Chain A
Amino acid sequence: MSPSMLAAADLYEVASAARTSRVRVADPEVQRFSQSVTALLRRLGDDAADAHWAPVVRRLRKIRWELATTPLPINHPALALSESAAFVAGLLRGCDRIYPAHAPAARAISEQLEALATSESDPLSTAIIRLLRGDEPAENQAVNTAEAERGLGQAETGRLASLPLDPVDAPAEDLLGGLPETIGATTAVVLRHSRHAGAVEHRLAAAGHDVTVVSPAQLSQPAVYGRAVVIGAMAWFPSHVLAAPKAFRMDVVQYAWIRDEVPPSSIFAGSAERAPVLPDLDRPPGAAPGSGDSPADPAELLPPADWATISARSAPGEEPGLARSEQVEAYLLLLASDEAVHLEADEGSRAYVVALGAEKELRQVPTRSIEPGTFLVTREGGEGDYIPAIADSLLGERGSGLRAAQRRWKAMLQDLVSAVGLRAVVGRLEAAGSSRATEMNARRWVSDASIRTQDFQDFQAIMSIIGLEEEAQALWEKMALIDQAHLRAGQRVRALLNREILEADTRELERRGWMDYDVAEIEGEGALRVARVEARAPETVRVSARRTRRPFPVERDLWQG
């Protein structure tokens, strides 16, 4: 679905008129904790990967990341700091004995965490509330691209939080252009991750501010707002958040103790020079160069994903027994549903994705093109991919016999490849009359994912070299039935997702990052899960073909994004 002409006009109007400012929030409590985490990591060095320290480090990084990006009181149940404090204290109990050199630092950070867990301090949401009340200096109304910023001290934010709250200030009438006041009065709070979106909305609603919490991906859609408050360093956000603003007024609220690098405004070499939307942040306000109060590196705060451990979680203990022919190269994707999934990386592999941006549509795309921000269609529950499962359901009683026939010739071909090698098999196929026998095609024909060849001549050649020539025609027809069932299954999926997603309100899906859609008409197949891809492993991994397209849970500490 494309935005209407009016929506497009609104987008241009907002993008041209948007004004951006930055609010820096000073909070010594969170800053001290962050510095302690950094100090501990430096002290540990390579020991951080040790089995004793790895879970501690992962949890500490996760806590720091959430505190830096989530506008909630530090002791809010959603952040679960009490549970984390107990977890870390438990793991560090034997530290004196195992790593005596690190024990004092470990004890200190454990105590710091326990203190944080009881803190009612709420620096980021207090700053948002002040902004929405219009409690800000005159220079913050400054024009486009000019930085207008100030520090909010801990004591000051605490005092302001107890003051009676005024209604949200709508942007000035002259800023709104042709847009109605109903848009001007809307406010979005943009969070780097949507995990605590509901809690943040409740927190701000309790303070009298009706806001919509959105993810950066949602800001790529046609909706425009009067105001958007972006929480965190801009280095953590995609460049379009500021380069293609979706609100007349963009406020970046971030901790003053985190350095920031604003993505460049220009993407083309040779285009007219464009002033940065905001300057970079080098040091906290008032801190002199070389004062020792060095700001945190935003990249260092970003939680890393432990790709190797995540990949191994997909089927622990399954690898050793598998034959080599069943191994495939696969992309590893992290999903907003706290899951990960492997997708085959070979050239012909495709998967259904849902585009929810300006182009709301369902499409099948090469797996290599699936990037973070894409909504991937996977299966919830059951074994294996959803298309074969639905196809089997459509085949009914014939299904098991047809699949057995498919498994039989596939296994025979796989055995032959294992015995003589792929190149020799290609040679035999050519000799048997196959006109498309290449290593790439042969690899595809061996794969469980392919049902039959495009052309009967190639199929006949395969049957010939595995000794099933007499059955070639019968098997070809059986495979045709499976093929047709797969096509119909794809049509069912398209119809379902068109109805449930493309023609429906998708705001909840976008905010939460994932949703399940029951496949009611196909009994026993569970649900389709549509989940946003949050990250993609930088390199492919080699996994069993049976492990692909099966989402598996990932512990939050392994992936903290």
Chain B
Amino acid sequence: MRAFEAADSRRDGIDPVGTLEKLLYRTREGWTPLPAWARSLIELGDRVARFDSRDARLVVALALPTRAFAAAFIAASVVSTVFEMDAPDADLEDHFELLASLAPGTAITHHRGNSIQQGRLVGVDERDGVRRVGIETRRMTYYLPLEMCGEIQVITHPGELRMTTRQLIRAPEFLARALPRVDAAAFSATTRMDAILVASVDPLHEEIVTEHFAVGLDADRREGNLQTIIRAKRFAGQNAPHRSEVVAAGGESVPAAAGQASPRVVIFDGASGFNNWRSRWPQANWIVLLDRSSPSTQAGADTINYGHSTRLSDSDALTDIDLPPSVEAVSYLERAS
């Protein structure tokens, strides 16, 4: 079992709260840094995203005064942390060789600047002693040398390819300043299911897609939404790169992409989603959010308490996270399957 990595991350000079720390929200007095409860949820998301074990999953349950925005903050933190921990291959030579090894016709995205388009690999071409990866898009065929091959990313679940060009990031400055340590273009151009949110879709959509947030001051301020970071497939355009998915808590089935995924973290926003779908992702870490005012909260707490009674061991995942006194929390490790 790999040890819990929060301490390691601090040793490496990575401050978990640094993620999203520049986000502002609008108060009666104007734009203000996020309140302490939101920062603590972001830190929790970072902490849980770093837990990795083949044998155990980390379960963290919170009883909150309101469920509003909790899943959204945690998801943003999980997605950005996992990207930082496991960014697309920084070693261009390895990435070039990976692309070269794939069959012609493999679906890819090609991003440059703030635009992205989909296409297919056409193979490796060598001219004048320089190897180039060939890609075919709607407009033309490109041959990109090793130093530019980072612009190409393989699409994991290609679905129906649409050879169109679209804006890669709707609010590029907002994203770049909200996640200063992340390559915004690579983050936005690649697809991987790092987090799944099991939630009531409409309220979550409002929290994630509405521009509740900003970075920067006065004239330099850029407003944006958490979808820019969370990149939930359900709220993104068709075939858009994504890094998470939202599953309807009361739905009768799970979208295929989410059902086949092995996310690092599943965030259950409410008891009904937790009780309906928790067995679907047994390898993932779980964060369970219960609204103290919801009638179904006790049913969720009962499930958590049963899990706690059969736990592998206690967990220190919540140590040093400054959750507000109105939040009750518990964490433990469960056998992963």
Contact = CB atoms under 8 A, between A and B. Distances in A.
A178 B308 contact: no
B296 A358 contact: no
A357 interface: yes
A369 interface: yes
A219 interface: yes
Contact of B203 (A2, A15, A178, A221): A2
B304 A365 contact: no
Contact of B66 (A8, A274, A365, A373): A8
A111 B74 CA distance: 63
Contact of A220 (B27, B69, B250, B293): B293
Interface in A173-215: 178, 180
A374 interface: yes
Contacts of B25: 5-6, 9
Q: Range of interface residues on chain B?
A: 35 or more
Nearest to B304: A268
B26 A5 contact: yes
A259 to B, nearest CB: 23
B141 interface: no
Contacts of A374: 295
Interface residues of A, number: 46
Contact of A268 (B29, B66, B250, B308): B308
B136 to A, nearest CB: 42
Contact of B68 (A11, A178, A239, A265): A11
Contacts of A220: 293-295
Contact of B308 (A16, A222, A269, A359): A269
Given A267-B301, A374-B295, A274 B28 contact: no
B292 A240 contact: yes
A268 B61 contact: yes
A271 B66 contact: no
B314 interface: yes
A2 B204 contact: yes
B125 to A, nearest CB: 51
A7 B296 contact: no
Given A8-B69, A357-B294, A270 B314 contact: yes
A91 interface: no
Interface string A482-494: 0000000000000
A270 B332 contact: yes
Contacts of A373: 295
B326 interface: yes
B293 A219 contact: yes
A359 B328 contact: no
Contact of A9 (B35, B204, B293, B314): B35
Given A270-B308, A358-B293, A15 B63 contact: no
Interface in B194-235: 200, 202-204, 206-207, 212-213
B66 A358 contact: yes
A359 B212 contact: no
A192 B212 CA distance: 36
A18 to B, nearest CB: 8
A222 B324 contact: no
B233 to A, nearest CB: 20
Interface string B56-75: 00000101011111000000
Interface in A212-256: 219-222, 238-240, 243-244
A153 interface: no
B329 interface: yes
B309 A269 contact: yes
B174 to A, nearest CB: 15
A433 interface: no
A4 interface: yes
B80 interface: no
A266 interface: yes
A358 B295 CA distance: 12
A5 B211 CA distance: 10
Contacts of B4: none
Contacts of A4: 212
The 3 nearest A-B residue pairs measured at CB: A15-B326, A220-B293, A2-B203
30 contacts: A2-B68, A2-B203, A2-B207, A4-B212, A5-B25, A6-B25, A6-B28, A8-B69, A9-B38, A13-B35, A15-B324, A16-B326, A178-B27, A178-B28, A220-B294, A222-B68, A238-B295, A240-B293, A240-B294, A267-B298, A268-B63, A268-B308, A268-B329, A268-B330, A269-B309, A269-B330, A359-B67, A359-B203, A361-B200, A365-B250
Interface of A: 1-9, 11-16, 178, 180, 219-222, 238-240, 243-244, 265-272, 274, 357-359, 361, 363, 365, 369, 371-374
Given A178-B27, A358-B293, A359-B200, 16 more contacts: A3-B68, A6-B26, A8-B66, A9-B38, A178-B28, A220-B294, A220-B295, A238-B295, A240-B292, A240-B294, A244-B65, A244-B66, A268-B305, A268-B328, A372-B295, A374-B295
